[in-house]
Structure 1
Amino acid sequence: MSPTAVATLVVLAVLAVLAWALTAYAARLDRLHHRVETSRAALDAQLLRRAGAAEQLAVSRALDPATSLLLASAAAEAVAADGDAEREAAESDLSRALRAALSPPAVRALRADPGGRGLLADLSAACSRAVLARRFHNDAVTQTRAVRSSRVVRWARLAGRAPLPRTFEIDDEPPALDAADQDGPGRDGPGNERGSGT
């Protein structure tokens, strides 16, 4: 085999390996972008479920009218928010409204009512799923951004025109629905001091 043929084969082999590597990077990036889109759709669904559970609690007449109005308003704003910045602010407001509405005495009163127990269970599940969905989404975004920041992806423009994904940052700390158990009758806690008599 002539030196020219050997050199040609070496160049073709290098090009084939390079093409394979770029194809693998592009496929991985495509999977990551798909994962971001899927996790964002799941996050949106869980946030809507949380707002729905908050609205159900607000209209149940289990809370006082002022608290119900505050909660219903925050839930409606979270559903109606448009754009990430507005949505993040509205979802954070809903989290704060839930924590304000569901103080330990309010939670104890709701648990004393069979209907209230169901509403609390639905809300607790919705809040927990929203926290997990946001965590999964932000993890997917972080991984995608890490791959997109590599030199190979930038040099070969493998991301194309796909926008750089961003994390969804909200205050999603759920209300302390278990605090009522800890502060319940027979335990020392705020507002539950035992009598001094023995």
Structure 2
Amino acid sequence: MDWIWWLLLAVLVLMVGLWLYWTAHRLDRMHHRIEVSRAALDAQLLRRSGAALELATSDTLDPARSLLLVDAAHVARAAAGDDLESAQSDLSESLRAVLADRDELDQLRARRDVGPLLDELAASCRKVELARRFHNDVVVSARALRSRRRVRWLRLAGNAAELRTVDLDDVPPAALVAD
């Protein structure tokens, strides 16, 4: 009869071990998804700043607005680390300031050389919003899993860095994306 208890204990230990392995593997997949979503967000931010830079250097805007947009786009492309969020937020503010006039934007869209640039910029702005939301959703999910007792007590997250959401102003100009 003792062997039945030992067998049940072994099955129980095996089940708990599998459950912990599954949790650690799930957490590892979430960390990988965070890295991929962050890379996608960084790529979209670079595309948006590149599109803004291309529009600013296309000689369609007046010199003051062009200079404002060139400066903001250049700073956003060069920013890294903690400065990234503020530089990208500044680019969003500059885009809203430069492209605020709906009538002028409609005239620029009608031009064959500028219309595709504006369309590319509008698409980039939408993709930045989506990429940031997706990244932040994955981070929130991983934080929820990491906050569970079994993950904290058994240190299933290992030495993974603290998870941070990306909080930046990514609201595009209303006139640009209002289609």
Q: TM-score normalised to the size of structure 2?
A: 0.95
Residues 81-121 of structure 1: per-residue CA shift (max 9 Å, x gap):
120x2100000000000000002243123123211111110
Structure number with larger C-alpha Rg = 1
Distance 1:179 1:107 in 2: 11
Paired residue for 1:118? 116
Distance 1:178 1:35 in 2: 31
Distance change >3 Å, CA 39–CA 131, structure 1 → 2: same
1:56-71 equivalences under 5 Å are 56-71=54-69
Distance change >3 Å, CA 127–CA 179, structure 1 → 2: closer
4+ residue stretches of structure 1 with deviation over 3 A? Answer: 178-181
Residues 126-150 of structure 1: per-residue CA shift (max 9 Å, x gap):
1011111111101110100000001
Does the CA contact (< 8 Å) of 1:111 and 1:117 recur in 2?
yes
Report percent identity of matched pairs: 52
Does the CA contact (< 8 Å) of 2:37 and 2:134 recur in 1?
yes
Does the CA contact (< 8 Å) of 2:118 and 2:176 recur in 1?
no
Amino acid at match of 1:28: R
RMSD over equivalenced CA pairs, Å: 1.5
Does the CA contact (< 8 Å) of 2:99 and 2:176 recur in 1?
no
SS of residue paired to 2:174: coil
Gaps of 5+ in 2: none
Distance 2:53 2:77 in 1: 10
Paired residue for 2:95? 98
SS of residue paired to 1:177: helix
Does the CA contact (< 8 Å) of 2:38 and 2:135 recur in 1?
yes
Moved more, 136-145 or 100-109: 100-109
Of structures 1 and 2, the one scoring higher in RCO (CA 8 A, sep 6+) is 2
Paired residue for 1:8? 6
1:152-163 equivalences under 5 Å are 152-163=150-161
Q: TM-score normalised to the size of structure 1?
A: 0.86
Gaps of 5+ in 1: 182-198
Distance 2:64 2:9 in 1: 75
Amino acid at match of 2:88: E
Amino acid at match of 2:146: R
Paired residue for 2:86? 89
Paired residue for 1:188? none
Paired residue for 2:42? 44
Distance 1:139 1:98 in 2: 26
Displacement after TM superposition at 1:6 (Å): 2.2
Displacement after TM superposition at 1:180 (Å): 8.1
Q: How many residues align?
A: 178
Distance 1:180 1:146 in 2: 36
Amino acid at match of 2:143: R
